[in-house]
Structure 1
């Protein structure tokens, strides 16, 4: 089964750019996923199990590294990448 996740990250810190960039860099290490980033959010596309494992790992990494962070995620069934 394919999955699309739309993630917005809100670091509770004055220096908010570094935690956002760090999270995106972590997600991009998963070669089996397709990651698209824009000014509002990051979208992750791929196999359900792989997407969920990567998102879980990256959120945990972010909490451990940066402390208090708010994540807003939308989970959508299927691969909803924009047309190439």
Structure 2
């Protein structure tokens, strides 16, 4: 089953851009999901388990590297047209 997630990362540090870019780079390296970014969020679409695995691994790695942060997620069952 397809799942789309809208993710917004809020690192709790002064140099927050570096943490956000690192999270997006990690997510975009995953061949199992489609990714689209804008100024407010990143949308990820793929199979249910692939999307949740990306969120889990991405937040864990980001926390270990950059410390405290908030990740706001919206999950929408199904596939949205994020390529357009």
- TM-score range (shorter-chain normalised) is over 0.9
Aligned counterpart, 2:28 = 28
CA contact under 8 A between 2:35 and 2:82: conserved in structure 1? no
Shift of 1:29: 1.1
1:81 has 2:60 as partner: no
Question: Number of paired residues?
Answer: 84
Secondary structure of 1:7 counterpart: strand
Give the 3 Å change call, closer, same or farther, for CA 20–53 of structure 1 in structure 2: same
Aligned counterpart, 1:14 = 14
Matches of 1:82 and 1:53 in 2, distance apart?
19
Matches of 2:41 and 2:82 in 1, distance apart?
14
Shift of 1:26: 0.6
Matches of 2:71 and 2:83 in 1, distance apart?
27
Deviations 1:15-69 (A, max 9, x none): 1100000000010111121000000000000000111111110110011010000
Shift of 1:82: 3.9
Give the 3 Å change call, closer, same or farther, for CA 62–55 of structure 1 in structure 2: same
CA contact under 8 A between 2:27 and 2:58: conserved in structure 1? yes
